[in-house]
Amino acid sequence: MKLLAVCVTGTLLVTSACGDNGGGGTSDAAAPDATATADAAAPDAAAPDAAPPDATATHTIGGTVTGLDGTGLLLRNNDGDDLVVSADGAFVFTTALDDASTYAVTVAQQPTGSLDYCSVVAGTGTVSGADVTDVVVDCNGPENFTPAAVVWLRGDGISATDGSSLPAWPDSSAGGLDAVQPTESQQPTYRATGGPGGLPYVEFDGVGQYLEGPADTLSSSTYTVFLVAEIPDQTSDNIAIYAMAPILGHDYELGLTYTVAGQDGAATLTNLTGGLSATAPLATGWQLDTLTYGGGTGSIYVNGTLGGSDAYTDATLTMERYLIGGRSPDGNSNVNFFAPNKHAELVVYKDALTAPQREAVECYLIRKYALDGVAANPSCP
């Protein structure tokens, strides 16, 4: 007998048939229960698929403000959604965005009543299925850093008419060491716009213009100096960028000078008494130069990257004045070696800043002036 098996919708039906079973005998195998069901149930054809994402979902854009001291900070998203922020902490824009939309957070108006300059970190991107919460608005600057700066000249700290002669560049630090020029024909020109990041700057003609500040409280054996400047290459050596010097005596011997080395696209930090002569290549256009002096080494960083360094014999320098746009190499009070430079900001510390401290100031200046290059600090975007 042969078995004929027929499957019908999950039920196994068995019937018998007569015939030879290989050996001519009958089969002893019992027929399975015709009503037995299969162990594995058939898939439910009616089960619904997983629900697709809600294409209409929207998400908010926000983040954190830090270091804010002033009032009137106005943030803007995508050139249209404005938000006034009055204190440190979390912020969220009112208008939510569709998924996959782009966002761009900017500072539409800087705060007033303080030295704050706020910049946006991680302010652009695309919404991806969740609220954006990691935009950072950083208002920390030299006024918040430790140690404190002893000289801080800011182009955006000048109150003057565009194109006017500048008799004084006010010091924003607590020291009050303004850089001044009482002789009108030797006063540099204030430019209200056109500097890096569109910010103001001070322009020197390279003929006889310079500014001088008192520095009798600055004598030290350590310094860190930050300059945001446009420094064209020169046809002569030793043209001034910045100098700290005695009233009488050669600035390059008793003080600290930063000069353009003629025609080779480089600048030099010098103190010959200690044997210091560090050289670094100049960048093209506006740049951030950081000068460090302390612990037997003088170094120049350009846009946050080490450009050159040199060892010297440690000694306390004689600092009775600081000069921008000129220098005093002749051993008397005369100023010459004038430079056609443009300066947007100068920050001076009477300390050898640690690497994280130096990088914090560099990050602030690089972001503020939208400069090329980034500091070594990985937190500086």
Do 342 and 325 meet the contact criterion of CB atoms below 8 Å apart? no
Q: Mean pLDDT lowest for which of 33-47, 194-208, 210-224, 307-321?
A: 33-47
pLDDT value of residue 144? 85
User: What whole-number percentage of the chain has pLDDT above 90?
Assistant: 56
Cα angle 70, 141, 79; round to 5: 65
Q: Do 380 and 121 touch, CB atoms closer than 8 A?
A: no
Convert the pLDDT of each residue in 14-67 to its tens digit.
344 434 444 444 444 444 444 444 444 444 555 556 555 555 689 999 999 999
Q: Is the pLDDT of residue 357 over 80?
A: yes
Distance CA 339, CA 203 (A): 10
CA distance 367 to 378: 14
pLDDT given for residue 14 in this prediction: 39
Q: Tell me, what's the pLDDT at 77? A: 97
**265 or 27, higher pLDDT:** 265
Q: 10 Å Cβ neighbour count for 168? A: 15
Reported pTM:
0.78
Residue whose token pair is 């600092």: 319
Residues forming a β-bridge with 56: none
Q: How far apart are CA 4 and CA 165, in angstroms?
A: 111
pLDDT tens, residue by residue, 168-185: 999 999 889 999 999 999
Q: Is the dihedral of CA 254, 255, 258, 259 positive or negative?
A: negative
Whether residue 300 contacts residue 290, with contact meaning beta carbons closer than 8 Å, is answered with yes
Write out pLDDT tens, residues 147-165.
999 999 999 999 999 999 9
- Give the model's confidence band at 328: pLDDT under 50 very low, under 70 low, under 90 confident, else very high: confident
The predicted pLDDT at position 348 comes to: 94
pLDDT at 76: 97
Kindly indicate the confidence band of residue 379, based on its pLDDT and cuts at 50, 70 and 90: low
Q: How many residues does the chain have?
A: 381
Domains of the chain: 1-47 (no CATH), 58-138 (2.60.40), 151-368 (2.60.120.200)
3-state DSSP assignment of residue 189: strand
